[in-house]
Amino acid sequence: MGTTTGNVLISYDINKSHTEVKTAMQELNYYDNFKFEGQAKVYELPNTTLWHKTKTTNQAIADLKGICSKLNVTLERL
């Protein structure tokens, strides 16, 4: 699991610092919205759901765990 590179979607629950975690993930090019090619409408994902264009599942998990560890945040569910 987690070795194919491409679009990956992650959803998580944490105990605190939601804004800081999300901002740190966005600095790693994770997105909280998307739009279909050729359309102007932007679709927003739920607050603790992000996606990345070129990561594996394992890389996304490692990114989130690393950020949570750095910010002293408990990752409750992923």
- Quick: pLDDT tens for 53-75: 999 999 999 999 999 999 999 99
Written in H, E and C, the secondary structure of the chain is CCCCCEEEEEECEECCCHHHHHHHHHHCCCECEECCCCCCCCEECCCCEEEEEEECHHHHHHHHHHHHHHCCCCEEEC
Considering the entire predicted model, what is its pTM? 0.89
Map out the domains of the chain as residue ranges: 6-77
What tens digit of pLDDT does each residue of 27-54 get?
999 999 999 999 999 999 999 999 999 9
Instruction: Name residue, tokens 């932007």.
Output: 42
